[in-house]
Amino acid sequence: MMKEIRIHARAGQGAITTATILANAAFEDGKYALSFPTFGAARMGAPMNAFVRIGDNPIRVRSQIYKPDYVLVQDPTLLRGFDVVAGLKPGGLAVINHSKPASELGLVTGGWVLTVPASRIAREIMGRADRVNTALIGAFIAATGELSLEALEKAIYTRFSGKAAEDNWKALVEAYNEVKNRGN
């Protein structure tokens, strides 16, 4: 069975890195994976998407994802002016970087919405509130169990090195634990 993930961010916020880490972790878990970005205006800060497909069989579909199982939103400003949950499959999950509870965001979806204060976690651990991607991954995995923590750790330590790897892993684990402790 194939799962499709759409990532919303602004150029320069690490959406491509998010997609790459998820795809590499899927590979580590013995699954097939495909990740790729799409850009509108090619400038820093412009809204953009990255996509990930994960499956048990080879993936032949190469199009953008219009009906995702999961949505990750790295930049909460994209909630204004963009329908980030458009096409979310019934029962799907949107994980949004936001300090407010999901019930206060006013999003209409057939799935469910989970918020995690990824900016706060990134600021506390990495000193930069815009490095939210691994915290969002941690929340996503805590809520879905789609990938193993062992595979994600390998993917992070492959993508980053030294203090950057340690900090990104800490951010992932912090968000993972926060979601698990909520009972979501």
Q: In the prediction, which pLDDT does 23 show? A: 97
Q: Which helix (H) or strand (E) is 86 found in, with range?
A: none
38-91 per-position pLDDT tens digit: 866 566 778 889 999 999 999 999 899 999 999 999 999 999 888 999 999 999
146-173 per-position pLDDT tens digit: 999 999 999 999 999 999 999 999 999 9
Give me the number of domains the chain comprises. Answer: 1
Nearest to 122 by CA among 169, 77, 155, 154: 169
The CATH number of whichever domain residue 62 belongs to comes to 3.40.920.10
Tally Cβ neighbours within 10 Å of residue 160: 17
Q: Which helix (H) or strand (E) is 50 found in, with range?
A: strand 47-55
pLDDT bucket at 12, cuts 50 / 70 / 90 = confident
Half-sphere exposure of 179 (CA within 13 A, CB side): 28
DSSP assignment of 90-111, as one string?
A: TT-EEEEE-SS-GGGS----SS
Q: What residues make up the domain containing 37?
A: 3-182
Q: In the prediction, which pLDDT does 168 show? A: 96
